[in-house]
Amino acid sequence: MEPIILNAGALYARADVYRALREPLRLPDYFGNNADALYDELTGRAEKGCVIVVGAAATVAARTELKRCLRVLTDCGWTWEKRTAG
């Protein structure tokens, strides 16, 4: 998977965070637009990826959701690491 560059300055609402991740992460149409759904979707995959965030989200709501998503992406990385280590 190619690295994903996410321009956080263009994020104004919670939905913007998931909209920005949907295409590059190839999230399915049924994706639930929340952190739990993101974790479930990504840990079910065999491939790893990289998300690079540039700038700060424009609003508190977007910043809060982006932080939540980044924690999910970190957790997914640990899950993939454990899966391949053993």
Residues sharing a CB contact under 8 Å with residue 20, sequence separation 6 or more, in sequence order:
6, 7, 10, 11
> Would you give the DSSP letter of residue 6?
E
CB-CB contact of 72 with 39 (8 Å) = yes
Give per-residue pLDDT as tens, 75-86: 888 887 777 776
Query: Domains of the chain by range and CATH?
Result: 4-85 (3.30.370.10)
Confidence at residue 19, expressed as pLDDT on a 0 to 100 scale? 93
Q: In this structure, which amino acid lies at residue 58? A: A
Give per-residue pLDDT as tens, 2-45: 788 888 899 999 999 999 999 988 899 999 999 999 999 988 87
